[in-house]
Amino acid sequence: MRVIKEFTEKDIRISIFSWNNKYLIKYEQGMIEQTFKVNEMDILEESDLDAFFTSEFLENVQKRFDEMHQTLRNQIENI
């Protein structure tokens, strides 16, 4: 697995990897993570991956994180 890029944007840790002819785009916030797998054949240049860091895309990632955090809290409370 090759690390392409790592950075933080709006409290979200973003890591991009190249592995098995796929780009893995991993978003982490606290104890929660989301990973998107994109076929390398669908991306012409690595700079095309910037589409996954636009404000609109990150807003959707954040909404999903909010839901995931709430789901985790609810489950922990029910243990």
Model pLDDT, residue 64: 98
Model pLDDT, residue 18: 96
Taking CA atoms, 4 is separated from 12, 17, 26, 37, 47, in Å, by: 17, 5, 11, 14, 11
Question: What is the chain's length?
Answer: 79
What pTM value is reported for the model?
0.91
pLDDT along the chain (79 residues), means of 10: 96 97 97 97 94 97 98 94
Q: E strands within the chain?
A: 2-9, 12-19, 22-29, 32-39
